């Protein structure tokens, strides 16, 4: 694991907003830790046949998911999709796996997570409702819980991918 990349355990006793935010950050950091120390070539390796999933694809997917749920759906912002700004390939995060992208993907992910945290911090409460006209209305609580579920599922994929790439296992 990266020195300096600290994954804080969520508090055992906390109010709802603190607990949800802590669990979401725990899962964000878990994905980053699963990628720590991998080369660009390893990030693009399809290591769990017959799946075409890669670590780079997971990181890019979660970058896009962060943008979609927090900036686009909840905040209702019209910022372009960070993965496919033209909208030409709705699966670009899984298909475009160039080595130069692998060199910047984790930084892009961290920046998007910081923007998502800003959206959450600006919300009045977990009861605040989404602002996008493109998606059904939902509260911030729903978005955060959905994101925790999304990360939990994909961090399981990351466990398998990483173990197949170089044998590294973790919790």
Please state the domain extents for the chain.
52-81+94-171
pLDDT category at 4 given cuts 50, 70, 90 is: low
Q: How far apart are the first and last CA of the chain?
A: 11
Taking phi over 0 as left and psi of -120 to 50 as alpha, with beta for the rest, 63 belongs to alpha
Q: Region 150-167: what's the mean pLDDT?
A: 96
Nearest to 112 by CA among 86, 147, 136: 147
Question: Structure pTM?
Answer: 0.94
pLDDT exceeds cutoff 60 at 108:
yes
């Amino acid at each position: 694991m990266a020195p300096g990349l600290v994954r804080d355990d969520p508090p055992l006793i906390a109010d709802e907003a603190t607990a949800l935010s802590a669990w979401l950050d725990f899962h964000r950091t878990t994905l980053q830790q699963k990628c720590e120390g991998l080369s660009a070539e390893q990030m693009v390796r399809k290591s769990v046949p017959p799946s075409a999933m890669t670590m780079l694809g997971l990181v890019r997917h979660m970058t896009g998911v962060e943008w979609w749920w927090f900036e686009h759906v909840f905040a209702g912002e019209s910022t372009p999709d960070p993965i496919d700004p033209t909208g030409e390939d709705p699966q670009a995060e899984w298909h475009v796996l160039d080595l130069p992208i692998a060199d910047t993907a984790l930084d892009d992910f961290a920046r998007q997570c910081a923007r998502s945290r800003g959206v959450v911090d600006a919300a009045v409460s977990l009861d605040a409702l989404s602002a996008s006209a493109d998606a059904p209305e939902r509260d911030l609580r729903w978005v955060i819980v959905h994101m925790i579920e999304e990360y939990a599922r994909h961090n399981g994929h990351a466990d398998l991918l990483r173990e197949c790439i170089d044998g590294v296992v973790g919790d």
